[in-house]
Amino acid sequence: YEILSGLVGSEMCIRDSQETVYHGFYQVLKLKLQHRLFKGGWSKELQRELVVRLPAVAVLMYDAKTDQVVLIEQFRVGGMAHENGPWQLEMVAGMIDTQETSEQVAVRECKEESGAVIAQRDLELVCKYLVTPGGSNESLAIYCAPVDASQIAGIHGLPTEGEDIKVQVINRPDLWHMLEQGKLTNAATIIATQWLQIHYPRLQGQWGS
């Protein structure tokens, strides 16, 4: 994985060396690099480790008629030491590990992780952002999609991937209250909830009729 190959000789940084130090579920690179300084010239040589991840997609499923949000709950290893525990309330999400577009992955993940059938044409882009640019190249595209929350329930996921995913239908005002109380603990869900709080009147006019 040549993370810096496209930047050689550019105004951003130059490549010195790159070594793969781990390759498992994720890949970890050890880099030596320099970058341009704001005041001119180049930085000293920096050594950094970079966690390489595929780009990912998440979907905020919203029922504009009932003012409800469909989220999922599942175990996350990164939350094992968190005071609220490793079972995270979050959006349907998945990595783009095929030749599919982000919209196609969004549709597929909604079906696999919640049983929801959504139309690609109904997806509205919320935002795209770098998740943890201090140490990873992971990017996430968040979409919002209209659903009928009354038709989405149960336990889902692919057993081959060790998934055990429970659907949770939450009233939007209650979800906002959870955010204010600090009960949402992953960035993507916090960002999407804040976005929804701004845009739900428009979505109700657009999807609620």
Q: In 10 A of CB 100, how many CB atoms?
A: 14
11, 19, 83, 161: the catalytic one is 161
Q: Is 49 a catalytic residue?
A: no
Comparing C-alpha atoms, which of 105, 196, 82 is closest to residue 144? 196
Catalytic residues: 161
